Each structure stands twice: as structure tokens, then as C-alpha cells.
Amino acid sequence: MKYFKSVFVISIVLVLSLLSFSCKTLNNKENVGADKKKPKYIFLFIGDGMGINHASLAKYFYKEKGDDISFTNFPYFGVCTTTSKNSVITDSGAAGSAIACGEKANFGSISYYPWFSKDSLPVSFAKIAHENGMKVGIITTVSLNHATPAAFYAQSSDRNLYYEIGSQLPESGFEFFGGGGLKHVKGSDNNQPDLYEKAKSNNYIVSSNIKDFEKLDKKNTKYMFVNPKLGLESDVPYKIDRKSDDGYNLAQFVKTGIKVLENPNGFFMMVEGGKIDWAAHSNDGATIVKEIYDMDLAIREAYKFYEKYPEETLIFVTADHETGGLSLGNAQMAYESNFMLLDNQKISITNFSEKIKDYKENNTKYSVDDIWKLADEYFFTETPIYTASDSTRVLEAFNYYFYEKSPTTSLEPIIIYGAENPVASIFGNIMCTKAGVGFTTWAHTAAAVPVFAVGVGADRFGGAIDNTEIKKILLELVEW
């Protein structure tokens, strides 16, 4: 155990020097608040799938654009382990449950602990905060009954039981839900009572118009603020794809949530940048950095609140797990990198997949030349210089998708291309490779994730922790 802790402490030192995060030492309490004070306002930001390298890539990218990822400059930095009860590599359900409830859960479950007696079942910090008079807000860019947000208000043996999970949302009584909508709102067969109507019957005001939140009657009123445009998974569009009429960004949901939740008894707000994970599953470097920036804009809204109440506010940022095995460097580029090449990507790989799908559905004859033109038109702002290897890979992906001709390799196509359109996946890989970014998987890894904190009790999150310790630390800080 001593060796284990030593390795992590050494890792922290190395990571700090490598990332150039402007974190103060763990003994420096400047601008953080006295140890004896209790946080009255608590913000927990979860960058789903955001590993240390994801945050580093976003920081390098935006620093070169003359901006920054502000939360990487918080005074306290640590790393967090993420294993589930029954697997080293976790999923968002088990990881979110560990963060929320302080106990390891099985892969694929939501705050579900059948091995505990009924009298000692772990309860999420959000529920405890609510019972102790705090208002509670849950915000995400994915659906509100998705794994991470669900862990704070629901229990389920299976994270995919979206209707069952969503039914528990209004029963929580939490004062604010915002961001994505509800997946399977009428059940998986579309034959169940509408979940939005259930929320309304539980005295929630459900709206997609931010103007409805400008003048609030805070007397026993609960709100659900759903983005006016949602994807097929009831998610908020990616920042890279978002148009002016696509609704709101995460910062606007947080700003509105603060307005709803602020009260003399304090509040707890969990905010998830849920589609960082989705972009990482697609190995989409450009979309990853922009989703992290989108979350950072939301964190800046929380920081404005912290500046008003520095001795009563805690903000900490972490992740549920790492996705993609992202590396800053790859074999092809060796010691070279040019992360700003990612800025030449117009839309997400997911969106480009749809463009290619539309082309296939609207034509009877297909040409690889048309695919190059589609990439130039929709995917790149500036066409990269292709190698012979790039051309070969595009042609193989084209033949596989349009003519079901297997690639010239023994690997299964799902391993080569992931879950996205094969052609779009290859173009995304070309972009990332030339930028000096690499990926080892389309899935999650067991890598430790970062923790950044500022405010009252922020020093408790410096160093090496496990995700089950987050709830315990919070309970100690508020002295419940």
C-alpha cells in the first residue's frame, strides 16, 4: 500500500511538471478559504471520459489560440482512481455511483447495492444534501436519465433501463434539472406515460426557453430546463456542430441553475460535460477539446459565483473514467506535434458520418472521388497533405462501407473503425495523427483521472484519492 501511494505521489509531480498546470503546492492556502470553514455552495463538475491527457490537449490547444482551460489553473490538483466493484475498467454507471454514493458498484448499474442491508444502503451525497436543507441541481449535456446524472438521484440494476430511471427523477424533489432531455420519454416501446408529464405532475416547470427562468418564483418551485434542440439520444449538440439556433451551451444552464438554486441554506450542483466521453469513444480529438472548453465556460460561471462568496464556495472538477487511451504523441509523428491542426476540422466525426450516410442513401453509384470532395466540403476548413498511406486507408474504408469489401488486415473492422462510419473514422484519424494525437482504444481505460479544486476545503482533493472518497470528503467538510 505504501508503494502504491508513493507511485501515485510521484505521478502527480511528473504530471504537474508536464502539463504546466498552474497549481499551487498542497500547503498553500492562498485564496482557498480557511480550513475551519464549511462549504455552503458546492459545485461538482464531471468531465465524462476526461483523462489527464484530454485536459492537457485542450489546454495546449486553447493556449495557442490565446485562451486557456481555466480550471487547470485551480490551486489544488490530484489524481483519482476509478475501478468498479467487479472490473478494473469501469463504466459511467459504476463510476458515477462511486462518486455519488461513496461505495463501489458493479459495472453497468446505477447506485445499486444489493449486498447492503436495507437499513444501510448507500445514499448519494445529493440526496443527503437535499435532506439537510440544501437545494440540488443536476445538469448534463447528455440525457438526464443517462448514467452519470442518474447516479445522483436514482437506483437501478441496469443503466439501460432509461424509463425506470427517468421515472425516479421527479420523485427526487431536486430543485433543478438542466441540459439534455429524457431518453425513452415514453418507454422503450413508446407506450408508457410521458415522463415530462410526470415531472409536471410533481410540480416541475418544464421549459426549453431561457426567458422562462429570467423571473423566478422560488417558493417551492422546481424546474427542468431542457435544450430546445436535442439529438437522437436526447443530448445537447456538440459545440463543434452547434449552430445559433441549436439552443444553449453548458454555461447558460449553469448560470440559470445558480439563479434557481441560490438560497440561504446553500446548494449542491452536479454538472456533467457528458459528450467529452462520446467524442473520445469516436477518437475525435477536435471535438474533445471543444467539449472540454464548453465545460470550462460553465466552470467560469461557477467561478464568478465563487468570487462573490470565496469563503463559502467549493468547486471541484474531475472525471468518472478515461476514454480512448488518448496520448499526446504517436508513432507516426514521433517527437513532433501540431495540435492546432485540429482547428481545421469543421464538424464532429459523428456529424460527418451522417453526411456520408446521406450520400449513400441518395445515390446509386458511388465514387471515392466524391468522398474526398465531401471531406473537403464538410469536414476540413483546410485540406491536409495526404500521404500514400492515407489514400490507401480511405479507399479501404470506402470499399468496406459501400461495397462490404473487407480491409486488407486480419483485424475485425470494428477494431479498425470503431462504431462510427468507417470513412468518417479514417478521416478523423488522419486529422488526429497529423496533429500528433493518438488513441489506444474506442472504449474506456483504467487510467487515473485528474482532480482540480478551488474554494473551501479544496486542499482535501489534492494528492491521490479514489472516487469513493469524494462523498466522504464532502460529508466531512459540511460536518454531516
Backbone phi, psi, residue 465, to 5°: -135, 170
Query: What letter represents residue 117's amino acid?
Result: S
- Residue 188 is predicted with a pLDDT of 93
- Residue 30 is predicted with a pLDDT of 41
* Measured distance CA(213)–CA(472) in Å, rounded: 34
C-beta separation of 104 from 468 below 8 A: yes
Which domains are assigned to the chain?
Answer: 2-326+443-478 (3.40.720.10), 330-438 (no CATH)
> Who contacts 314 (Cβ-Cβ below 8 Å, separation ≥6)?
39, 41, 42, 43, 453, 454, 455, 456, 457, 458, 477
pLDDT at 8 over 90: no
Strands 322-323 and 222-226: what pairing?
unpaired
* Measured distance CA(474)–CA(271) in Å, rounded: 16
* Measured distance CA(216)–CA(134) in Å, rounded: 18
Take residue 1 and report the three cell numbers written for it.
500500500
Residue 167 DSSP class: H
User: How far is CA 106 from each of CA 24, 83, 95, 109, 113, rounded to the nearest angstrom?
Assistant: 36, 10, 9, 6, 8
Question: pLDDT digit string (tens) for 368-416?
Answer: 999 999 999 999 999 999 999 999 999 999 999 999 998 888 889 999 9
Beta bridge partners of 466: 81
> Who contacts 198 (Cβ-Cβ below 8 Å, separation ≥6)?
167, 170
- Residue 457 is predicted with a pLDDT of 97
pLDDT at 430 over 50: yes
Distance between first and last Cα of the chain: 29
pLDDT at 5 over 80: no
pLDDT at 2 over 60: no
* Measured distance CA(249)–CA(397) in Å, rounded: 34
C-beta separation of 183 from 146 below 8 A: yes
- Residue 14 is predicted with a pLDDT of 41
C-beta separation of 68 from 438 below 8 A: no
Greater confidence, 219 or 307? 307
pLDDT at 32 over 50: no
For the chain, what percent of residues have pLDDT higher than 70?
92
- Residue 215 is predicted with a pLDDT of 78
> Who contacts 397 (Cβ-Cβ below 8 Å, separation ≥6)?
407, 417, 422, 423, 425, 426
Greater confidence, 32 or 21? 21
- Residue 248 is predicted with a pLDDT of 97
| Cβ count within 10 A of residue 303 | 18
- Residue 21 is predicted with a pLDDT of 52
Is 343 exposed, middle or buried, given 0-12, 13-18 or 19+ CB atoms closer than 10 A? middle
Task: Tell me, rounded to whole angstroms, the distance of Cα 380 from its chain centroid.
Answer: 25
Q: Nearest Cα to 463, choosing from 85, 81, 173? A: 81
- Residue 216 is predicted with a pLDDT of 75
Residue range 273-297: average pLDDT?
98
For the chain, what percent of residues have pLDDT higher than 90?
88
**Confidence grade of residue 201 (pLDDT, cut at 50, 70, 90):** very high
Is 16 exposed, middle or buried, given 0-12, 13-18 or 19+ CB atoms closer than 10 A? middle
Coil, strand or helix at 139: strand
Residue range 95-106: average pLDDT?
98
52-64 and 2-19 helices, crossing angle to 10°: 10
Question: pLDDT digit string (tens) for 320-376?
Answer: 999 999 999 999 999 999 999 999 999 999 999 999 999 999 999 999 999 999 999
C-beta separation of 260 from 268 below 8 A: no
Beta bridge partners of 323: 444
Residue 261 DSSP class: H
Question: pLDDT digit string (tens) for 232-263?
Answer: 999 999 999 999 999 999 999 999 999 999 99
pLDDT at 23 over 60: no
**Confidence grade of residue 204 (pLDDT, cut at 50, 70, 90):** very high
* Measured distance CA(384)–CA(341) in Å, rounded: 9
Residue range 308-323: average pLDDT?
98
C-beta separation of 221 from 207 below 8 A: no
Q: What stretches of 145-201 show up as alpha helix (H) in DSSP? A: 147-150, 162-172, 195-201
Beta bridge partners of 47: 273
The overall average pLDDT reported for the chain is: 92
pLDDT at 270 over 70: yes
**Confidence grade of residue 218 (pLDDT, cut at 50, 70, 90):** low
- Residue 219 is predicted with a pLDDT of 63
